[in-house]
Amino acid sequence: MFKKILIANRGEIALRIIRTCREMGIRTVAIYSTADKDSLHVRFADEAVCIGPPASAESYLNIPKIMAAAEITNADGIHPGYGFLAENADFAEVCQQYDIKFIGPTPDQIRKMGDKVTAKETMIKAGVPVVPGSDGLVKDVKHGKKISADIGYPVIIKATAGGGGKGMRIVWKDEEFETQWDSARKEAKASFGNDGIYIEKFVEEPRHIEFQIAGDQDGNVCHLSERECSIQRRHQKLLEESPSPFMTDELRQKMGDASILAGKAINYEGVGTVEFLVDKYRNFYFMEMNTRIQVEHPVTEEVIDHDLIKEQIKIAAGIPITGENYIPTLHAIECRINAEDPYNNFRPSPGKITSFHSSKGHGVRVDTHVYAGYLIPPYYDSMIAKLICRAQTREECITKMERALDEFIIEGVKTTIPFHKKLMQDEKFRSGDFHTGFLNDFDLGEPEPDK
Ligand code: MV4
């Protein structure tokens, strides 16, 4: 087992990892930028190393500085959290060279899933359903138009280096193809330095449902059930839940089997997520695989009562998993509390939190790194807390979430709490009848008057 883990991250996830390490008797090293000197991850870690100025490129993304911190503190493992370097295969490789275990998959596994065309080819070979589309990369406009005519409009143009919607364009008819092709390529080149493009049939009004999987160093792979992630805005998830209200026993069996095939196809080692698009007929298609712990992992932890960070650490230490799949018997919902103004296009609202009272009580969990007096720096993402509720049924879980949202007090900055309160009252949300386009025509109404 590890003796000392360096956490190459900040915020709530750094704190989340420190908590599990404490429970496992593993010492922790925090790294931090000057903007984070008063952060709780710095205070709660056994040791802390300042690695540079606020800009991520000079701190949380700076591999030489992170490796230097790991060397001087004698860490034998590095946990990357999510974002930053979590899916950077080169970083995982540098860790190998330093003989410090990267707590996550191998560089090769990260690379296979990081390139979407390679991932899709791997899934086809493994027998995992994918959206019909081009056979690999598309050479030029002429080639693209031919393929699109063959599969039939509408189609979607995607960047092989993409993910999260960057370099993605929907094309409804042949006349629009060239314009959309050009803009997708430009955006892909600018965002990823790679303008490799592929084409798929556009699945209309899909749901985004993902399966949590775990694989060990002996080749066992199991699934830990699904999360429903369709409530998102411009590819930023705002609410996740498990189980999906759209799930049936039959669909879970099929998608669970497919997720395990996906993991086995790359000998996946660690916890990971297989993302699917699901259409209204419950056809499902592999979209991409995330080779990291995700923001929304607590909803799975709550419904199956397992610590996923502990699973990651055990797998990285070579301890085998049981290999059994887990089916939820409870319901959990996570609301992302961001320092953003939902009444102003979700514009970031950094600044000082003047007053903070977290919701509490049975079935309520709050994962956060903030406190009254905390200054939210403008340099990083705007998520300041995750409010997770758990109950016997979805209905009870929504009721509990409404109660928990009502007692959450955050003053000094704008937050997404009013958005979530309104969402809890929405009939389509409450009935489970929604897809990824749901928030496009969601009306937030007027702000509540101050009490
Ligand atoms: C799609 C799609 C429809 N058809 N692919 C968005 C981000 C990237 N991971 C893939 N995405 C999509 N791919 C086909 N063939 C619709 C989306 C999509 C989406 C997917 C998941 C969650 C939210 C989304 C919002 C808009 C579009």
Residue nearest to atom 13 of ligand 1 (CA): 287
* Residue 447 domain flag: no
* Residue 109 domain flag: no
Asked if residue 221 and residue 145 are part of one domain, the reply reads no
Domain boundary residue, one of 59, 87, 103: 103
Give residue 263 CA to ligand 1 midpoint distance, Å.
21
CB burial string 341-377: b at 16+ within 10 A, e below: bbeeebebbeeebeebebbeeebbbbbbbbeeebebb
Asked if residue 239 and residue 308 are part of one domain, the reply reads yes
User: How many CB atoms are closer than 10 A to CB 103?
Assistant: 28
CB burial string 53-72: b at 16+ within 10 A, e below: eeebeebbbbeebbbebbee
Asked if residue 337 and residue 276 are part of one domain, the reply reads yes
* Residue 387 domain flag: yes
* Residue 114 domain flag: no
Report the residue among 153, 287, 435 best suited for mutation to probe ligand 1: largest number of ligand atoms under 8 A from its CB: 287
Asked if residue 256 and residue 197 are part of one domain, the reply reads no
Give residue 78 CA to ligand 1 midpoint distance, Å.
32
CA–CA separation, 292 and 310 (whole Å): 14
Residue nearest to atom 21 of ligand 1 (CA): 208
Report the residue among 235, 279, 283 best suited for mutation to probe ligand 1: largest number of ligand atoms under 8 A from its CB: 235
Is 287 close to ligand 1, i.e. is its CB under 6 Å away? yes
* Residue 294 domain flag: yes
CA–CA separation, 378 and 103 (whole Å): 28
CA–CA separation, 354 and 308 (whole Å): 33
Q: If we measure between CA atoms, which residue out of 380, 26, 406, 432 comes closest to residue 209?
A: 432
Give residue 389 CA to ligand 1 midpoint distance, Å.
27
CATH number at residue 238: 3.30.470.20
Report the residue among 187, 192, 208, 442 best suited for mutation to probe ligand 1: largest number of ligand atoms under 8 A from its CB: 208
Asked if residue 283 and residue 432 are part of one domain, the reply reads yes
CATH number at residue 146: 3.30.1490.20
CA–CA separation, 150 and 175 (whole Å): 15
Is 155 close to ligand 1, i.e. is its CB under 6 Å away? no
Which atom of ligand 1 lies nearest, measured to the CA of 204? 3
Strand-pair partners of 170? 156
What's the angle, vertex CA 231, arms to CA 386 and CA 326, rounded to 5?
A: 70
Q: Specify the number of domains making up the chain.
A: 3
Domain boundary residue, one of 173, 201, 229: 201
Active site residue 292: yes
Please give the helix or strand (H or E) that residue 43 lies within, else none: helix 40-44
Q: If we measure between CA atoms, which residue out of 309, 307, 258, 249 comes closest to residue 77?
A: 309
The number of residues in the chain equals 451
Is 363 close to ligand 1, i.e. is its CB under 6 Å away? no
Which atom of ligand 1 lies nearest, measured to the CA of 163? 9
pTM confidence score: 0.97
CA–CA separation, 120 and 321 (whole Å): 27
Active-site residue identified among 185, 227, 252, 292: 292
Is 131 close to ligand 1, i.e. is its CB under 6 Å away? yes
Domain boundary residue, one of 162, 180, 201: 201
Give residue 195 CA to ligand 1 midpoint distance, Å.
19
pLDDT tens for the chain, 451 residues: list them: 999 999 999 999 999 999 999 999 999 999 999 999 999 999 999 999 999 999 999 999 999 999 999 999 999 999 999 999 999 999 999 999 999 999 999 999 999 999 999 999 999 999 999 999 999 999 999 999 999 999 999 999 999 998 778 889 999 999 999 999 999 999 999 999 999 999 999 999 999 999 999 999 999 999 999 999 999 999 999 999 999 999 999 999 999 999 999 999 999 999 999 999 999 999 999 999 999 999 999 999 999 999 999 999 999 999 999 989 999 999 999 999 999 999 999 999 999 999 999 999 999 999 999 999 999 999 999 999 999 999 999 999 999 999 999 999 999 999 999 999 999 999 999 999 999 999 999 999 989 876 5
Asked if residue 305 and residue 262 are part of one domain, the reply reads yes
* Residue 120 domain flag: no
Token reading at 277: 């698009």
CATH number at residue 16: 3.40.50.20
Asked if residue 37 and residue 166 are part of one domain, the reply reads no
Which atom of ligand 1 lies nearest, measured to the CA of 202? 4
Asked if residue 409 and residue 281 are part of one domain, the reply reads yes
* Residue 112 domain flag: no
Is 338 close to ligand 1, i.e. is its CB under 6 Å away? no
Domain with 183 in it: 132-201
In the numeric block, the tokens 């699901």 are attached to 278
Asked if residue 369 and residue 267 are part of one domain, the reply reads yes
Q: Which residues fall within 8 angstroms of residue 425, CB to CB, at 6 or more apart?
A: 402
Asked if residue 286 and residue 177 are part of one domain, the reply reads no
Asked if residue 314 and residue 172 are part of one domain, the reply reads no
Asked if residue 399 and residue 271 are part of one domain, the reply reads yes
Is 277 close to ligand 1, i.e. is its CB under 6 Å away? yes
* Residue 219 domain flag: yes
Strand-pair partners of 5? 28, 77
